[in-house]
Amino acid sequence: DVILSERKWSKKYKDAEKNIEKIIAEDAFYINDTISLFSKLWPNITNRTYLELGCGTFPLGRVFAKKGATVIGIDFSMPALRIAQSLAKRDGVRVFLVRGDIRHLPFASNQIGYVYGGGVLEHFKDVGGAVRELNRVMKVGGKAVNTVPYISLGTLTYRQLWGNIPNIPVLKQLAELIHIRILGGRHMIFGYELSFTAGQMRRLFQKAGFRILSIGPLPHKIMLERVKSVRLRILFQRLARTRLFWPMILVHAQKEKND
């Protein structure tokens, strides 16, 4: 799971290093929605410590750095971190970038006030271990936002084009057999990627010591770059706002206490 995910993402960002403007345009597609979301969830991030899991090119981290937060990004892709460093210099902001594994965060316990993982936890089979680890590094009262693919009709159809693995017994084993063993991961453009129910995510976070503040659909537009028809894309984007077709869910949680 980790090797496949790291390989796919590093290739994506290595290609992006040749065309930085393209990756900036991709980030721009989501960033306004993301900033609007966090202005509601975390209005007081100034002078706080912010950690982003799987930070990629770190667009949100650069925004928070401008607001006065201490920002740390961790990713297992060195090409992604090189781009993030270059864009931070361009924006004139100070960021701390770490190449590492989110299942074994290289930080002391009880240090981080805010954590964000945008489409990250699903790339590891040991999701529970990753959630426990992010809980360990957070301060009591610290808040975490994580988004993951949601098991819906959209996930079971469109998302199969890039090798999603529904986290449901039998379906999971069948999808792994097809996408990994038979097809060799060639269609898994984001590497190993699980999808979850809201109940599964609630239990994972509660078991790790979090109090759930909210769980619901991620209120972002979606690219649907593989749908060439403009009319069909508009239709699918409307369908994605209904629960049957939700593409992603967001978990907002707070650390309650130290173990």
Q: Which two tokens stand for residue 187?
A: 């269609």
Q: Which two tokens stand for residue 198?
A: 């809201």
Report the distance separating Cα 123 and Cα 77, nearest Å.
13
Report the distance separating Cα 99 and Cα 79, nearest Å.
10
Any residues with CB less than 8 A from the CB of 92 and at least 6 apart, and which?
Answer: none
Closest by alpha carbon to 198, among 246, 141, 161, 256? Answer: 246
Strand partners, 41: none
* pLDDT by position in tens, the chain (length 259): 888 888 888 888 888 888 888 888 888 878 888 898 999 999 888 889 999 999 999 999 999 999 999 999 999 999 999 999 999 999 999 999 999 999 999 999 999 999 999 999 999 899 999 999 999 999 999 999 999 999 998 888 878 888 899 999 999 999 999 999 999 888 898 899 999 999 999 999 999 999 999 999 987 666 556 666 767 766 766 766 777 888 899 999 999 987 6
Please give the pLDDT value at position 244.
Answer: 81
Give me the amino acid identity at 203.
R
Report the distance separating Cα 103 and Cα 122, nearest Å.
12
| Residue 86 C-beta-side C-alpha neighbours within 13 Å | 17
Closest by alpha carbon to 250, among 6, 79, 37? Answer: 37
Give me the amino acid identity at 173.
Q
Report the distance separating Cα 105 and Cα 85, nearest Å.
20
